[in-house]
C-alpha cells in the first residue's frame, strides 16, 4: 500500500502536464511502515533519455535498443539518483518508488518498465492524454517479477 497526500498527486500531475509530450519522471521519497510505504516528498527529476541511455539499457537488459525519444522513454541520470539516495539517507528517508508519465497512453506499465523495475519500489504511472493529466495508478513487482496493482491511499 502507498500512502500519499493529495498535494503530492497534484505535484505529479503538474509535472506530467508541464513535460508533455515527453515523459516526466521523479522519485517518491518517504518511509516504510508495517502497513505500507508512506510518501513524504515528491522529487521531480530531469528525463535524460537519449540515444546513449537507450544503448546502455539495451546492454543491461539484453534487449534491442529503444528509440531515443523522450515521448515514450525516461531515464534518471545515475549521478542524480546517487545524490538523491544520499540526501534521502541524510534526512532519515528512503527512495520508496519512482513515478513517470505515459503521454497519450494508459497508466499501465510497459514491458520495458517491468524489465528495469526494482521489487522494493512502488511505480506510480500517470496517463497524460492530449496533454491533460489523467488516471494515476500504482504498481509493484510480485515474486514472479510481474507488475501487480498496489493500492494508493490518499488524505482526501
Question: Pseudo-torsion of CA 13, 18, 23, 29, nearest 10°?
Answer: -50
Distance, in Å, from the CA atom of 120 to the CA atom of 96, rounded to the nearest integer, reads 7
What's the CA gap between 129 and 85, in Å, rounded?
Answer: 32
The per-residue b/e assignment along 51-60, b for 16 or more CB within 10 angstroms, e otherwise, is eebbeebeee
pLDDT score, position 115: 84
With a CB cutoff of 8 Å and minimum separation 6, the contacts of 42 are: 8, 11, 12, 15, 26, 27, 28, 29, 99
For the chain, list the domains and their CATH numbers.
Answer: 2-45+77-154 (3.40.140.10)
Q: Give the helix, strand, coil percentages of the chain, each rounded to 5.
A: 30, 35, 35
pLDDT in tens, the chain (156 residues): 999 999 999 999 999 999 999 999 999 999 999 999 999 999 999 999 888 888 887 777 777 777 778 888 899 999 999 999 999 999 999 999 999 999 999 999 998 899 889 999 999 999 999 999 999 999 999 999 999 999 999 986
Tell me whether residue 30 is exposed, middle or buried, using C-beta atoms within 10 angstroms of its C-beta: 0 to 12, 13 to 18, 19 or more. buried
Amino acid at each position: 500500500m502507498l500512502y500519499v497526500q493529495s498535494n503530492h498527486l497534484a505535484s505529479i500531475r503538474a509535472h506530467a502536464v508541464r513535460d508533455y509530450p515527453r515523459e516526466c519522471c521523479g522519485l517518491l521519497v518517504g518511509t516504510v511502515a508495517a502497513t505500507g510505504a508512506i510518501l513524504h516528498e515528491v522529487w521531480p527529476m530531469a528525463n535524460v533519455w537519449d540515444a546513449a541511455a537507450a544503448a546502455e539499457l539495451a546492454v543491461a537488459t539484453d534487449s534491442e535498443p529503444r528509440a531515443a525519444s523522450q515521448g515514450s522513454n525516461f531515464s534518471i541520470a545515475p549521478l542524480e539518483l546517487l545524490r538523491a539516495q544520499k540526501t534521502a539517507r541524510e534526512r532519515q528517508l528512503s527512495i520508496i518508488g519512482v513515478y513517470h508519465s505515459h503521454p497519450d497512453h494508459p497508466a499501465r506499465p510497459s514491458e520495458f518498465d517491468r524489465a528495469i523495475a526494482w521489487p522494493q519500489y512502488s511505480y506510480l504511472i500517470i496517463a497524460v492524454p492530449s496533454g491533460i493529466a489523467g488516471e494515476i495508478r500504482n504498481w509493484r513487482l510480485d515474486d514472479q517479477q510481474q507488475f501487480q496493482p498496489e493500492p494508493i491511499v490518499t488524505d482526501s
